[in-house]
Amino acid sequence: MAKTKTPAPAARPASNGSSGSANGTDPITNLPDRRAGERTYDAIVIGGGHNGLVNGAYLAKNGLKTLILERRHLVGGAAITEELRPGFWFTTFSYALSLLRPEIIHDLELTKHGFMPLLMPSTFAPMENGDYLLLGQDHGENLREIARHSRHDADAYEAFNHDVLRVCRAIKPLLDQVPPDIFSTDPEELIALATLGSRFQSMDRKVVHDAVRLLTGSAADFLDDYFESEILKGYLASSSIIGTKVGPYSQGSGLVLLYHLLGEHDGEFGSWAFHKQGNGGFTKVLARAAQAFGAEIALESPVERVITKDGRATGVALIDGTEFHAPVVVSALDPRRTFLELVDPRELPTDLVDAIERFRFQGTSAKVNFALDGAPRYPALGDRTDQFRGFTNIGPSMEYLERAYDDAKYGWYSKRPYIDGAIQSTIDPDMAPPGKHVMSTFIQYAPYHLKGSDWDAEKERFGDTVQATLESFFPGFGDLVLQREIRTPLDIERTVGLSEGNIFGGEFLAPQMWLFRPAPGWSQYRTPIDGYYQCGSGTHPGGCVMGAPGKLAAGQILKDRARRGSTARTKVGAGA
């Protein structure tokens, strides 16, 4: 045949879109030799979570010799996929994609390395009376389905979406910008503030007001303005509590709701996708991209501390004593670790240390992952299983969610928890053997601090509570369970390193966002230590698999370098 043969996928490290290598069989191999040779870099990134990888990739792309140091045997942090049972791939923690900044996909050329956000064609919300709300990809059918529950809510849903989209359009640019420094007198900062102000000024009044209502108010108040159907409100309000110790009736839940609506996927706001092979598949794509730009990734390399000299960061020391040197050190960990563990707090201004000590983590989420012998059954849908191709939302009313929160308020996990279920294996055949499934369930509430007990003692009972709740919606569920993996907030803290198991690297509360994330005056990714930067989820715009902190921090580092480079040149010029 005339057509020339291309080599088999196995022969190529990064193949354009081939999924064959997505199964986790392509370890990050280029560990730098710790004993000898080159240990000096232009930049060192601590933490190979998605933000560390994004940050390192941008730095490498811009010509910096970059080393990313990851404590564990795999990259991804909270976004990993693990084969816990032969053929069964668990999204151990994070399980779906939406807020990832589109710019990152393009800048880091992720489509070359296997980026593949799979469409979730449906969302399923079972009800306690056996009925359900099932939304799909057909707009007209969705409105009929909503009308089945409330005739009023069909066009109210349109109005809600329209209003919310307008807010999203207005707010979205903030996700892609370094927050202004309102405490600075630097002319550049004043210009940034003025630009921001004028942007708000040109906005429609209703949009600004809706934005403020969402950013400061409760999800319940906002949703009650539009809807009467409990199931619809329960489903929408579920996004207002994720990762945060609030109920839908708490002020502040609106902000969490807005964050989840701000995600976008192929240009559609509020739409979520399963990345091929889970969010761990995604972070592998990031790692390949970072390596393609020349970044080195070292696994099993826990950093003990940042080395400083005369108020400047000069490198890092691993727990085993190995030192690596670089004029730029970036912490991709959360603020507590960045400021209170990796450096000596005595090197920092007291008000910053105070602010970080006050910074609230208090994780309230857990995961229970299942290997299943088959798809669960929902009695009202008979043998259908297509309802499981997206999220399965067990939060049938705002009251259900609020009662789940009540337990947490008083220091215990929910007796009937909110559950966000996802059976990615229904659409991604590489997640489980044919006919079998993996089900990720994200649980709230599971407060980090339990009153009168601890997570090591309660772990199994907590798993039983979750499974019993699932059983009540899907009779026979227990018989399908081949294996159960429970990940409490304590496990999240121990395994990923996120303090108190907070999934966002610090709570989504107004006083901890934007200008104040992680602390007033320190929201621009720098730290008081020259050359030491921060880029984890505890910086603006926060948690979720978004990549924005990593990217924005890289921008600041490059800007500072350029500035320093030009002053250095000026000095040289002056001397000559």
Partner 1 sequence: MIRTTPFHERTAAANVSGLWEHWSGYLVARKYDQSEKFEYFAIRNSAGLFDSSPLYKYRIHGPDAEAFLAGALARDVRTCAVGHGQYTAWLDDRGYVVEDGVIFRNAVDDYLLTSAEPNFAYFDALIGRARVTIEDVSEASAVLSIQGPKSREILACLAPEVAGLPYFGLTAATIGGADVTISRTGFTGDLGYEIWVPGDQALAVWDAVTEASEGRGVLPIGSIALDMARIEAGLLLLDVDFQSSRFAWTDAHRSTLIELGLGWMVRDLAADGRAFIGRAAIERELRDRTSRWKLTGLVFDWRDYDRHFDEAGLIPPKDHTPIDAEYYIYDDSGNQLGYATSQMYSPMLQRHIALARVPLDLAKPGTRVKMELAVSHRYEYFDAVVTRLPLYNPDRRTA
Ligand X SMILES: Cc1cc2nc3c(=O)[nH]c(=O)nc-3n(C[C@H](O)[C@H](O)[C@H](O)COP(=O)(O)OP(=O)(O)OC[C@H]3O[C@@H](n4cnc5c(N)ncnc54)[C@H](O)[C@@H]3O)c2cc1C
Bridge-based pairing of strands 437-444 and 481-487 is unpaired
CA dist 373 and 379 (Å) reads 18
**Residues near ligand X (CB under 6 A), total:** 38
Distance CA 75, CA 283 (A): 7
303 is a contact residue toward ligand X (CB under 6 A):
yes
Dist CA 170 CA 470 (whole Å): 39
Of the candidate spans 126-134, 247-255, 396-404, 433-441, the one that interacts with partner 1 by CB under 8 A turns out to be 433-441
* Residue 436 in contact with partner 1, rule: CB under 8 A: yes
CA separation for the pair 356, 379 (Å, rounded): 49
Cβ(146)–Cβ(232) below 8 Å:
yes
In sequence order, what are the residues at sequence separation of 6 or more whose Cβ sits closer than 8 angstroms to the Cβ of residue 37? Answer: none
Burial of 73 (0-12, 13-18, 19+ CB in 10 A): exposed
Report helix, strand or coil for 170: helix
Q: How far is the CB of 497 from partner 1 (least distance, A)?
A: 31
- Tokens standing for residue 344: 């000596």
Q: Among 66, 81, 94, 250, which residue interacts with ligand X (rule: CB under 6 A)?
A: 94
Exposed, middle or buried: residue 62 (CB in 10 Å: 0-12, 13-18, 19+)? middle
* Shortest separation between residue 3's beta carbon and ligand X, angstroms: 42
Which one among 21, 239, 365, 488 touches ligand X, defined by CB under 6 A?
365
SS3 assignment, position 298? strand
Residue 31 is a binding residue for partner 1 (CB under 8 A)? no
Q: d(Cα 323, Cα 308) in Å, to the nearest integer? A: 12
C-alpha to C-alpha distance for 322 and 315, rounded to whole angstroms: 11
179 binds, among partner 1, ligand X, none (CB under 5 to 8 A by kind): none
**Residue closer to ligand X, measured from CB, 149 or 526:** 526
In the complex, minimum distance from the CB of residue 106 to ligand X, in angstroms, rounded to a whole number: 19
Q: Which is nearer to ligand X, 367 or 437 (CB)?
A: 367
Instruction: Report if residue 315 touches ligand X, rule: CB under 6 A.
Output: no
Q: Is residue 87 close enough to count as binding partner 1 by CB under 8 A?
A: no
Residue 136 engages partner 1 in binding (rule: CB under 8 A): yes
Kindly tell me which of 3 and 451 has the beta carbon lying closer to partner 1.
3
- Is 570 a binding residue for partner 1 by CB under 8 A? The answer is no
Q: What beta strand segments (E) does 142-259 contain? A: none
Distance CA 420, CA 120 (A): 14
Is 17 a binding residue for partner 1 by CB under 8 A? The answer is yes
Of residues 208-267, which lie at the interface with partner 1 (CB under 8 A)? Answer: 266-267
Distance of CA 388 to the CA centre of its chain: 22
Chain contacts with ligand X (rule: CB under 6 A):
46-52, 69-72, 77-79, 93-96, 99, 302-303, 332-333, 365, 367, 442, 492, 496-498, 503-505, 536-537, 543-545
Residues that bind partner 1 (CB under 8 A): 1-3, 5-9, 12, 15-20, 102, 105-106, 110-111, 115-119, 121, 136-138, 141, 165, 169, 266-269, 276, 386, 389, 426-429, 433-436
